[in-house]
Amino acid sequence: MTDFRARLRAWTYRTFYRLPGRWRRRIVRTFQPTYTIGAVAIVRDPQLSRILLLRQPPGAGWSLPAGLMDRGETPVQCAARELGEETGIKLSPEHLRAANPNAVVHTRGQWVDMVFEAEVEPGAELVVDAAEVIEAAWHRLDNLPPLTVSTSRLLANYGIGPYKDYPEARQQ
């Protein structure tokens, strides 16, 4: 990627994330007028009970590697692509397995997260672009940093995070 394109991409993400939430949703709805379908990767370090989290602009909390599906892409392909783009961890779709539940429907926001899990050995190098992702890091499950509300609610479905003991936080 040229230096100009990298700077333009960073500026675009910063500008988008500074917009109010309802404007960001409206922009997405312009291209996805009904339910938006995305894919999420829950990546664990099997030896140390850690999970991979990202801090994205505006940096208000930590989240999971995730993104919207491209046209013609399957959910597992999307999860693998987003994981690679946002963290530098390249896994083939065959290395991701469907989480249980695999689909988390957010009826208020009109989106569906297709959730996949993977385990990665602790030596995996994390590479972020400083535009879409500010920081990627491993965090112990018993000592998680402040999470975004949507990440906390999604992780509750898998018995992880601050909302894990609140059934009302789980998505249906």
Residue 159: CB atoms within 10 Å:
10
The tens digit of pLDDT for each residue in 17-32 reads 888 888 887 887 776 6
Indicate the helix (H) or strand (E) that contains 86. helix 75-87
| pTM of the shown model | 0.78
**What are phi and psi for residue 102, nearest 5 degrees?**
-85, -35
What average pLDDT score do residues 53-68 get? 91
- 3-169 belongs to CATH 3.40.50.720: no
The confidence score (pLDDT) of residue 32 equals 60
Q: Is the pLDDT of residue 57 over 70?
A: yes
Cβ-in-10-Å burial (0-12, 13-18, 19+) of 73 comes to: middle
Q: What is the pLDDT of residue 77?
A: 97
Q: Give Cβ neighbours of residue 70 (< 8 Å, ≥ 6 apart).
A: 78, 81
Q: What is the mean pLDDT of the chain?
A: 88
